[in-house]
Amino acid sequence: MEIDILNVHYIIDGKTTIKPTKIFYETLDEDEIQNVHFEVQFNNQHIHSKLHSVAEYAVRYFQQALPNNICVACCQSCLHGNFNPFGNLGNEIFCLKDLSLKNREDAVGFFAKQDYYTRSHKLLDFCQDYKPIGDGGKYTYNDWHL
């Protein structure tokens, strides 16, 4: 098992902050991780998420382990973060912030026709264009909704 410390962005009571967060995982190859779980300390509370073999679900389990007033702010929880409907690597999501998808068919059409690899990000990446899924009525091909 490998351990890294990531600077993860969180929204706590409406304010964005960064906290060092431990990620425990095994590596399949340089881009794919498996058997993932997270740990973070908020004041006197130590939060430990449930282990999952797939990074995408591990991040969701991590969000579920957090108190209700704390949200992970990352590409996976972002309005612009879309999975590739044809498949993607573990720990990979694509930023489509400049597009306005209306439905699943729009996402399929985009990924079928475009060179999208320049839009690839890791699930816990963060940028200043972050917006939670559900803000703005834009469709997101992503299963973050908990």
pLDDT in tens, 85-114: 998 778 899 999 999 899 999 999 999 987
- pLDDT tier, 131 (very low <50, low <70, confident <90, very high otherwise): very high
Residue ranges of domains in the chain:
2-73, 75-137
At 32, which helix (H) or strand (E)? none
Nearest-Å Rg of the Cα atoms of the chain is: 15
Q: Does the pLDDT of residue 77 top 90, yes or no?
A: yes
Distances (CA, A) of 61 to 12, 30, 51, 65: 18, 23, 8, 6
Q: Please give the torsion angle defined by the CA atoms of residues 29, 30, 33 and 39, in that order, rounded to the nearest 10 degrees.
A: 140
* Pairwise CA distance, residues 43 & 13, whole Å: 15
| Cβ within 8 Å of residue 40, ≥6 positions away | 8, 19, 20, 21, 22, 46, 47
Determine contact, residues 51/38, Cβ cutoff 8 Å: no
pTM of the predicted structure, to 2 decimals: 0.90
What pLDDT, on a 0 to 100 scale, did the predictor assign at position 146? Answer: 54
Q: What are phi and psi of 23, to 5 degrees?
A: -115, 130
How is residue 29 annotated by DSSP?
S
pLDDT digits (tens, 9 = 90+) for 8-41: 999 999 999 999 999 999 987 766 788 999 999 9
| Cβ within 8 Å of residue 81, ≥6 positions away | 74, 75, 93, 94, 95, 121, 133, 140, 142, 144
* Pairwise CA distance, residues 55 & 134, whole Å: 22
